Structure 1
Amino acid sequence: MQSRCPTFSRLVMTLAAVFSCDSPADAQEATERSLNTGRQGTSEYARGVAMAAGVTPQGEHRAADDAIVIAQQTSAETTDMSASIVVRGFEVAPVEYPALPDVEGTRINSGKKTSFVKPEEFPAIANNNYREALATTPGLLVSEEPSSPIINIGYRGLDSQRSESTQMLKDGVSIKNEQFGFPESHYAPILDAIDRIEFIRAGASLQFGPQPGGAINFVTRMPQRDVPFEFLTKNLFGSDELYQNFTSANGTAGPLGYYAYYDHREREGFRTNSDYEVNAGSVKLVYDVSADSRLVLTLDGYDEEHGEPGGLTEVPVFGEDGSLVPGLALYSRDRNVTTRFFDRFRLERYYATLEYQKIVSEYTQIDIKAFGGYLSRFSKRQRGGDFGIAPDPNPEPDSDASTNDIQLREDWTQGAELRLRHDYNLFGDTSTLAGGLYFYHAVQDRSDKRGETPDAEEGVLRRFNTGETYDGSIFAENRFHFGRLSITPGVRLEFFQQSLSESVNTTKPGEDLLERSDFSFVPLFSLGASYVLLEAQEIVSGSPAAGDSKGVKDVAPRVTAGGRPRVEVYGTVAQAYRPRTYGELVPTGPGSIVNGDLEEGHSLQFELGTRGKPLPYLTFDVGAFYFDFEDQVGDITITNANGTFSSTGNVGDARYSGFEAAAELDVLGMINGGADSRYGRFNLYGNITLLDTEFTSGPNKGFDTTYAPDYQFKIGGIYRWKEVAKVGLLGTFVDDSYADVNNTPSHFIPAYAVWDLTAEIKFWDGRLGLIAGINNLFDEDYYGEIRDEGIVPAYRRNYYGGVTVRF
């Protein structure tokens, strides 16, 4: 369809008028209406209009030069009518601003504290190192587990173990093992396939459901739309026999685009039995059904196995004779020793997602997703030993150490989601309604067996139970937009049914098999607001870029590509919750009980801050937060005439408060007066989280919550030159914390500071690239993770290097 608007240079005008445009004036009105829906023109409506206009898709380009940048200038009275739009084919990508757009697709982010990071802005990241990828994101704590590919992410004093307290998403779909009954995350996407990582703090539960620790959404790459075929392979080698291969192919043929990759990682590790191997792949197909609709099919496969070398301790344990107990592994004596030689873990995950996106009209968009898959989690662990104590290496027959525990959990999940976004005029401004329906169903079979040897793969069945979850949700948010002020109330109604039934339990002979079913209704509410303090004319430069000729044309005012200056105040109050897990419905151990009136954990969260981009080369976000977490679930020990029992129940409440600040400065842009420098970009970044947490009731009253360092400071610099060379020096400083709610000395994590140096250079127009790096540059001796079996030592200084080929 060809536009009747005559001026192609006013591209935004043409796109907005594609549905019906009788004159440039009509197009201008349509343009302003679309741009008014989101900050800096990042309205997803603009993306949809680009689709409908039949604009030749350009794909997810790596260089800013590949994008079309349009800047409009208006008076202060119509600030929300002007914008900078970055059009990249099928998508309109956010311009550089320290938050997600106010309105993005079928989501509303206005008033929420949000951030995003693009892995491609860093030099090539090796071995899926999320500590580096999240270096510019405040508040997220990566607790490292170097013997496995599992990523543990904590947030503001909420437990980081298996990222259980944070909702983890891939393209808007949860990647947790089972997001209600088994909410651990053993799978994390490979960073090479990620376009950006979005993080939504307070208010995330209104959009994505359970967990109080916000939501991390991994947005994967789309097919490149201007070439029929592109091939990329990265091969990387490093310390302790590290080898990584990432190979991808993508392109477009007619209406069909494709993106496929294979991910292989393996490493022997620095401890015996700390090896791991990952084999994963994905295929994404994008089919343009029409000019204003498309289908996206994604198929994922993931298979990994790793050893579990066991834990160490910093606390000596003495026997009755006054000597150290046998098998004690003191961290200070030998941090590389192994205490578990036979423990192994395996994960298989196969998942599919089908999404239909439709621009219904210039005001309305719908997204429909259907998803489902299978996950298998297998572990075998030798019995005997204790915290930081190895089992007897020569066990007597029939002793604990001569056997092992074998656990298999299989999860089948499926669901569907409908999201709708509608823009409408209210008192002369464009307001937005976004909402939808969500359905989720999951079944889990869990078996526990007893092996007859320390390394047995099979054994005698001791327990078998089946858990099932049904969840249905209705949610909606409305952004009322009045000039510089936006107010966004929201509501989510969760209805979920959980059940668990035992088929076998030989640990409780003579007792009836247990079965329990609970229905819960959880209403969640939120209120967000933002007010634009500064949104002025485009900043223009009267001087040429450094090194340019001094001709008349060069000194003419020019519009910078960074977008208009903007500073805003934002605030949110929102509710969140944590559902019961399957293990909290029915006791599965011989000495355990579960309270019958167990409640979900509830949280009330507050955010208040200011953020902006007052200058083309400076961004910042500064704010304070407070939230409580009531009815936390935990285990307490009960001793009575019948013996000692472990009781699972609501053990108390906790509060969390603190301050966060983040800033990023392009030094060369500042020197060049806000214009791009011929010498590239040198970004200095820094962010800090100051945190104070405490249990306010229950048996742990007065104690710190887990993984709650008083401060977390990240600082560094990244230099980029014409997408040819990148060098990064990234520092992470973390204060001490505890890994258990009892704040025991054995679970104390000392403060540490880690620096990473990474570099990448490309040749022959990007067809060949070399990458190299040093992780833990200054050889810090530290650990950031403590598990049930003891301290997990982190990597000391290690090296890597590799090559990339693209054609």
Structure 2
Amino acid sequence: MRAVFFIISFLMASIVFGQEKYNGIVVDQFNEALPGIKVQNLISKDLARSSLNGEFVIRAKHGDTIQFTFNQFDTLRVLAGVDIATKGESRLKMCYETQAIGEVIIVKKRMADFNVGFMPPIKGVRLNTGTNSIIELENLSGAKSTGNAREMYAKVPGLNIWENDGAGIQIGIGGRGLSPKRTANFNTRQNGYDISADALGYPESYYTPPIEALKSIEIIRGSAALQFGTQFGGLLNFEVLDPVKHTPFQLTSRNTLGGYGYFSTFNRISGTHNRMFYQAYHQYKKGDGYRENSEFFQHQAFAQFGYYLNENWTVSAEFTHMNYVTKQAGGLTDLGFEEDPKQSIRDRNWFAVDWNLLALKSTYEINQSTTFDIRAFGMISNRRTIGFLGKITQTDLGGNREMIYSDFMNGGVEARFMKKYSWYSEDDKITPKVKGALLVGARVYQGETQTKQGTAADGDDANFMFINPDDVEGSSFIYPSVNQALFAENMFFIGKKWRVNLGVRIENISTSSEGFYKQYVVHPLNFDTLSITRASDSNSISRTVPLFGTGVSYKVGKNSSLYSNLTQNYRAINFTDIRVTNPNVVVDPNIKDEYGFTSELGFRGLLKDVLIYDLSAFYIFYGDKIGLAPKPKTVKKERTNIGDAQNYGIESFAEIDWLKLGEKERNWALKTFVNASYINANYITSKEANYVGNKVEYVSTFMVKSGISSSFKNWTLKVQGSFNSPQFSDASNAVEPTGDAVIGEVPAYMVFDFSGNYKFKKYFQVEFGVNNFTNASYFTRRATGYPGPGILPSDGINGYVTLQFKFAK
């Protein structure tokens, strides 16, 4: 027995001592480090992965074959002791797969030099076609702590932004003539899962992740957007920073001071140890606000934990929490805005949100060409408003206030299967004739929202309590929604220049409402309540909707392409369309779903790493568009299908690095960008004849954002200007405002921002800036209800400074 044990021990020692550690760095053809590369000894089956800096270490005998693999890269095989050595650091170069190389080149260059770009055709378990943009945030200059959307989205064409929140608590953007209201026309996600109140029943976003926590922001429009939903706007996806891979612990702390009592602190820890990776962050911010009665505070927290079950299978869990309370200054009349945009005549209005998200994700790489991804997600959240919500022409005389309370609960599962394939001709079995990628997926989603409106206690504090919670004075409704979807997208790479994609999505949608509301008969002279009627109301709509999309792209040059897309869109009635609890608005009982399609033609590319450009023309048909119009023979507004609309126009973006025009390399950069769009959105049919030919609400015909930036050594400085032409706030295109300021023109405005940063050699970075440094007085929105009604002024001049500290073990 001892002899057997000795022989086994001897053999094991021989194997171990016969191996040596081989190390090196994996880079791409641009000499940039590649993290996360799978490294395997094909003889001993030992495994390793490259670090964030591309470094790897693996045991092997002299002559063993070492294989390097990663998505979108050609497999690399080398010999230990021949191509890599035990001493020194061998530099190994991996090349992109032929089918993706052109797009990846553009993306990498844009990310490195211009902070914006468009995505490769294949990314993980996703296909990207048509108009898409990715905003790389790591080196982007601007007010990140307050999430100033003018600066963050400055290089994405065609976006209209509502700017009545100077602290970045809520974002409101719309593209190509679509309403910016709480970004409801986008399918809004974080790390690929839903974050809105109810994806179909109430697709509005009360939660926005902090810019300081994000790696990038992705916007996908065109046929590829069918993978994510039916929305006219497409996908808006916030990508949280990845956990760091090269160290078990990293700390980042960012602290910001700004005008109007603004303070923010953001702290993040992250790391990777063996097979485990993690990160957690917390952000707290508070301020007094630009206007009177607009103080706020907010907490945001995020935690992620993941584990490599093996080299091909990763699982992770993410939890997000956000809560905030803000005092609402209310709206202003046009006269009040002209007198002083900082004033407020509402001092008892409050708004609060509590948001909780949980997501579980599993990604399994079956082989180099096949990946299966499944994620489950859920949300339990609420929003609360309290105050006096009457017209701005009415005086708040005190007494009991009105409160609206909404509970949101939803959950879903989405699975995706991606298969890359190649077809070969009979004569040539080596060179593929056609390459392709097939994505198929399924989604199951269920949501339920409960909303109550009634009388709350008097006073001026944030006391969110109903006086009669079991029998509220206004209304009480439950809004269930159920959604099942199947989707498929196939992309063909034909030769070296052509790319064709086909997509289909089948949606089964059920939205309902059930509850009661109370009607009051009031004496016209003394305003006494004469009678109260309780009316029950229920509504349920189910439909199955097939949607199709297609696109084609032709590579004109090495780094430029011509593309075209056509895709169908659909927007189901949500519960705010069915039942609105607004004393100034009534709902058309015959309101219907919206439908339509989007088409586009574009040309984009990169010219010698000097000039980036993206030019596109689009046409959107928007059938049965829902909007707000004056109700005949009343003083109220009606939410109804106004008619069919068309949005068409041209979007353009270009940025040039002037100093790269010369042949000599410099450590100084001077760049200029221009983002300009022309959008003509008008009603082509309507049940109200005088609306035909009128402009669609909240569409600026011309929008221009332009800036100049310079970087030298550790310094970066940027000045940017943003211009929007006039907009109408309703379908009647009223220029003269109504007395309550709900309807009327939104005048043109021009805003300038300055930002800069300085990076110390180690640990520290300072960021600074002044937003709206010309102190322009302007507004972007006339609110029909909360948080108005009336004009909501945008912030005036505001400075800030941020100190960042980063330490890694």
TM-score (norm 2): 0.81
Query: Which consecutive residues of structure 1, in runs of 5 or more, have no partner in the other structure?
Result: 23-42, 54-67, 315-328, 396-400, 536-565
1:479 to 473, 484, 491: 491
Deviations 1:710-736 (A, max 9, x none): 1111111233445x3322222211111
What's 1:307 paired with? 327
- Opposite residue 284 of structure 1, the aligned amino acid is Q
Q: Cα distance, 1:296 vs. partner? A: 2.1
What's 1:46 paired with? 72
What's 2:234 paired with? 214
1:527 to 550, 556, 581: 550
Contact residue 518 and residue 535 of structure 2 kept, 8 A: no
Q: Does structure 1 residue 443 correspond to structure 2 residue 448? A: yes
Counting only pairs closer than 5 Å after superposition, residues 127-526 of structure 1 correspond to structure 2 as 127-146=146-165, 149-203=169-223, 205-314=225-334, 330-384=336-390, 386-387=391-392, 389=393, 391-393=394-396, 395=397, 402-427=399-424, 428=432, 429-451=434-456, 453=458, 455=460, 457=464, 458-460=466-468, 461-462=472-473, 463-483=475-495, 484-502=497-515, 505=518, 509-510=532-533, 512-526=535-549
Contact residue 27 and residue 92 of structure 2 kept, 8 A: no
Q: Does structure 1 residue 726 correspond to structure 2 residue 716? A: yes
Q: Cα distance, 1:478 vs. partner? A: 0.4
Q: Does structure 1 residue 749 correspond to structure 2 residue 769? A: no
**Matched length:** 704
1:619 to 612, 619, 629: 612
Shift in CA distance, 755/212, structure 1 to aligned 2, threshold 3 Å: same
Between 1:485-494 and 1:114-123, the stretch displaced more is: 114-123
Deviations 1:240-288 (A, max 9, x none): 1110111111111211111111111111013221111111110111211
Contact residue 515 and residue 586 of structure 1 kept, 8 A: no
What's 2:6 paired with? none
Q: Give the secondary structure class of the aligned counterpart of 2:251.
A: strand
- How many angstroms apart in 1 are the aligned matches of 2:172 and 2:218? 17
- How many angstroms apart in 2 are the aligned matches of 1:286 and 1:47? 24
Shift in CA distance, 3/727, structure 1 to aligned 2, threshold 3 Å: farther
Q: Cα distance, 1:459 vs. partner? A: 2.8
Q: Give the secondary structure class of the aligned counterpart of 1:131.
A: helix
Contact residue 620 and residue 646 of structure 2 kept, 8 A: yes
- How many angstroms apart in 2 are the aligned matches of 1:168 and 1:725? 34
Instruction: State the identity as a percent.
Output: 23
- How many angstroms apart in 1 are the aligned matches of 2:201 and 2:101? 46
Alignment RMSD (CA, Å): 3.4
Q: Give the secondary structure class of the aligned counterpart of 1:120.
A: coil
Deviations 1:679-731 (A, max 9, x none): 14333211111111101122232221122111111111233445x33222222
What's 1:658 paired with? 649
Shift in CA distance, 793/596, structure 1 to aligned 2, threshold 3 Å: closer
- Opposite residue 780 of structure 1, the aligned amino acid is A
- Opposite residue 373 of structure 1, the aligned amino acid is M
Between 1:442-451 and 1:744-753, the stretch displaced more is: 744-753
Shift in CA distance, 21/658, structure 1 to aligned 2, threshold 3 Å: farther
Q: Cα distance, 1:752 vs. partner? A: 1.4
Q: Give the secondary structure class of the aligned counterpart of 1:162.
A: helix
Q: Give the secondary structure class of the aligned counterpart of 2:336.
A: coil
Contact residue 147 and residue 306 of structure 1 kept, 8 A: no
What's 1:56 paired with? none
What's 2:727 paired with? 737
What's 1:777 paired with? 773
- How many angstroms apart in 2 are the aligned matches of 1:591 and 1:684? 46
- How many angstroms apart in 2 are the aligned matches of 1:132 and 1:702? 33
- Opposite residue 484 of structure 2, the aligned amino acid is G
Deviations 1:44-102 (A, max 9, x none): 7237979xx9xxxxxxxxxxxxxx9957599xxx78678867999xxx98997831111
Shift in CA distance, 590/132, structure 1 to aligned 2, threshold 3 Å: closer
Counting only pairs closer than 5 Å after superposition, residues 65-80 of structure 1 correspond to structure 2 as 70=93
Shift in CA distance, 82/408, structure 1 to aligned 2, threshold 3 Å: closer
- Opposite residue 104 of structure 1, the aligned amino acid is K
- Opposite residue 651 of structure 2, the aligned amino acid is E
Q: Give the secondary structure class of the aligned counterpart of 1:650.
A: strand
Shift in CA distance, 82/518, structure 1 to aligned 2, threshold 3 Å: closer
Deviations 1:448-475 (A, max 9, x none): 1123536464334122111101100000
Shift in CA distance, 9/165, structure 1 to aligned 2, threshold 3 Å: closer
Deviations 1:15-34 (A, max 9, x none): 99978989xxxxxxxxxxxx
Contact residue 147 and residue 210 of structure 2 kept, 8 A: yes
What's 1:802 paired with? 802
Q: Cα distance, 1:408 vs. partner? A: 0.3
Contact residue 73 and residue 94 of structure 2 kept, 8 A: no
Q: Give the secondary structure class of the aligned counterpart of 1:237.
A: strand
Contact residue 288 and residue 295 of structure 1 kept, 8 A: yes
What's 2:51 paired with? none
Contact residue 115 and residue 200 of structure 1 kept, 8 A: yes
Deviations 1:337-365 (A, max 9, x none): 10211111000001111111111111101
Shift in CA distance, 203/678, structure 1 to aligned 2, threshold 3 Å: same
Contact residue 94 and residue 101 of structure 1 kept, 8 A: no
Shift in CA distance, 255/454, structure 1 to aligned 2, threshold 3 Å: same
Runs of 4+ in 1 over 6 A off after TM superposition: 1-4, 6-22, 47-50, 78-88, 92-97, 589-593, 643-646
- How many angstroms apart in 1 are the aligned matches of 2:321 and 2:26? 44
1:684 to 667, 672, 680: 672
What's 1:540 paired with? none
What's 1:324 paired with? none
Q: Give the secondary structure class of the aligned counterpart of 2:71.
A: helix
Deviations 1:290-309 (A, max 9, x none): 11121121110000111111
- Opposite residue 533 of structure 1, the aligned amino acid is V
Query: Which consecutive residues of structure 2, in runs of 5 or more, have no partner in the other structure?
Result: 1-15, 44-68, 80-90, 425-431, 522-531, 738-743
Between 1:229-238 and 1:206-215, the stretch displaced more is: 206-215
What's 2:566 paired with? 573
Contact residue 464 and residue 505 of structure 1 kept, 8 A: no
Q: Cα distance, 1:750 vs. partner? A: 1.4
What's 2:66 paired with? none
Q: Give the secondary structure class of the aligned counterpart of 1:332.
A: helix
Between 1:334-343 and 1:777-786, the stretch displaced more is: 777-786
- Opposite residue 409 of structure 2, the aligned amino acid is W
Between 1:594-603 and 1:253-262, the stretch displaced more is: 594-603
- Opposite residue 282 of structure 2, the aligned amino acid is Y
Q: Give the secondary structure class of the aligned counterpart of 2:291.
A: coil
2:694 to 703, 707, 722: 703
Q: Give the secondary structure class of the aligned counterpart of 1:224.
A: coil
Q: Cα distance, 1:526 vs. partner? A: 0.4
- How many angstroms apart in 2 are the aligned matches of 1:271 and 1:592? 27
- How many angstroms apart in 1 are the aligned matches of 2:26 and 2:767? 41
